[in-house]
Amino acid sequence: MARTKQPRNPMARYTRKDFDRDFPDDAACLDWLVRHLYPDFPSVACASKECAGKVRKHHRVTGRLAYACDECAHQLHPMAGTIYEKSSTPLRTWFLAVFLMSTTRTGFSAKWLERQIGVTYKTAWRMLKQFRTMLYEGAPTLSGKVEVDETYFGGYRRGQRGPMGPNKTLVMGFVERGGRAYAEIVPNARKNTLAPMVERRVAPGATVYTHELTSYATLPKRGYAHETVRHIRKEWVVGDAHTNSIEGFWGNMKRGIDGAHHRVSKQVPTELRGRVGLPVQPSARHDADVLVDARAGFGVEG
Sketch the domain layout of the chain as residue ranges: 145-278
Residue 271 has pLDDT above 50, yes or no: no
Q: Which residues, in sequence order, are bridge partners of residue 180?
A: 279
Percent of the chain with pLDDT over 70: 77
Q: CA–CA separation, 230 vs 232, rounded Å?
A: 5
Residue 198 has pLDDT above 50, yes or no: yes
Whether 103 contacts 287, CB under 8 Å: yes
Q: Which CATH architecture has domain 145-278?
A: 2-Layer Sandwich (3.30)
Residue 270 has pLDDT above 70, yes or no: no
Q: State the average pLDDT for the chain.
A: 80
Q: CA–CA separation, 170 vs 63, rounded Å?
A: 53
Closest alpha carbon to 179 in 205, 201, 199, 154: 201
Per-residue pLDDT tens digits for 135-190: 777 788 999 999 999 998 876 666 555 556 666 788 899 999 988 888 888 888 99
pLDDT at 106: 72
Per-residue pLDDT tens digits for 55-81: 999 999 988 888 999 989 999 899 888
